[in-house]
Amino acid sequence: MENRTNISSHCFNDIARRVPGAADHLLPLISRRDDLILEHNLMVSTNHHEDFYSLYFVRQGSGRHMVNDVVYSVSRGDVYIMSPGAVHAYRQAEQLVLDALYFTLDIFTPLEMDWLRATAGFLPLLVGSESRGSDDASGGRLLHLNPAQHTRMTQLVDTLHGEWLRGDYGNALMTRALFLELLVRLARFCDENAAADYGSSVAHTPKSEETLAAALRFMDERFAEPLRIEQIAASVFLSADRFTEVFSAAMGRSPSDYLRYIRIEHAKLLLATTDLPITRIAADSGFDQASYFTHVFRKAVDQTPREYRAGARR
């Protein structure tokens, strides 16, 4: 297991402040490129991406990418996503060049999020990184692009990066449009290639993706209520056991874990942007007791709600 005492933590806003003149001040998206040449088994610094997704395209070369203490093989044409909270480092990079897009879900409107969830291939694209397999030749690979797909996506990423660097309002609009196009195309490739190996085969069917999208929408809309898994399962016409099986296979986490995650994310937003008392934020985020909210929040974020609020406002 990686030594967690030598980890550099990064939040989206901190990274954005280090890139003046780019479009990240207008939308929650950062575009960058990493060129890595490492000695055998040498590890670069370990990083913790606190509050943003990281979408990686392997442009050329190959290497080993350790994510949450599991090492994955990556090579030219691979596309994969790290979820918020991931800890990662590179190993054994041989002329490894990656394009990285950092983003938060705030970049999408609620309607866009619904449409993306209903797009075949999008859910495994977004959440597949949380349930990738063991360390083998392809176990860490979410999606591998064929040469034609790789060329097309490289051109799209280059265009997006150019618009993002210019940083004015028109460029920000174009960057956002290109990002949506990129995600939809990747979702289609993911569906066409049948390359999302993220659990039992029952999870990757059009019907199960519709069921999962409906369940996610139900949870996103009603997370502040005292929801039970039986209620969520009933909303998509499944038994609690069957729903838990399907959800866990696709998402790499249980329904209860996901519900707790979105409640904590909502609480973080309120702590950073409002002066509401902690008891009110706890209630608005689906926690009936402030003491329990503080316990769960500290376990998830490694800070108390008050400490998080103070840090977010510096």
Domain topology for 206-312: Arc Repressor Mutant, subunit A (1.10.10)
Given this model, what pLDDT does residue 291 score? 95
Domain segments of the chain: what residues? 8-198, 206-312
Query: Residue 79, Cβ neighbours under 10 Å: how many?
Result: 24
C-alpha 283/C-alpha 169 separation (Å) is: 37
Given this model, what pLDDT does residue 78 score? 85
Given this model, what pLDDT does residue 294 score? 96
C-alpha 249/C-alpha 199 separation (Å) is: 5
Distances from the Cα of 78 to the Cαs of 35, 134, 149, 289, in angstroms?
A: 15, 16, 11, 45
Query: What is the dotted CATH code of the domain comprising 8-198?
Result: 2.60.120.280
Burial of 72 (0-12, 13-18, 19+ CB in 10 A): buried
Given this model, what pLDDT does residue 135 score? 36
Tokens representing residue 81 in the block: 């996503």
Given this model, what pLDDT does residue 139 score? 34
pLDDT tens, position by position, for the chain (314 residues)? 444 547 888 888 888 888 777 777 889 999 988 766 544 445 567 888 888 899 999 888 777 888 888 877 777 788 988 888 888 888 777 677 889 999 988 899 989 988 988 888 888 777 654 444 333 333 334 687 876 788 889 999 999 999 999 888 999 999 999 999 999 999 888 877 654 444 434 444 445 666 777 788 788 888 999 999 999 988 888 888 888 988 887 777 789 998 998 899 889 889 988 999 999 999 999 999 999 999 999 999 999 999 999 988 76
What global pTM score does this model have?
0.60
C-alpha 309/C-alpha 54 separation (Å) is: 24
Torsion of the alpha carbons at 43, 46, 52 and 58, rounded to the nearest 10: 0
| Cβ proximity of 220 and 286 under 8 Å | no
Q: Which long-range contacts (CB under 8 A, 24 or more apart) does 173-180 make?
A: 175/23, 175/27, 175/29, 175/31, 176/27, 176/29, 176/107, 179/29, 179/101, 179/103, 179/107, 180/112
C-alpha 246/C-alpha 202 separation (Å) is: 7
Tokens representing residue 26 in the block: 């207008």
Given this model, what pLDDT does residue 209 score? 63
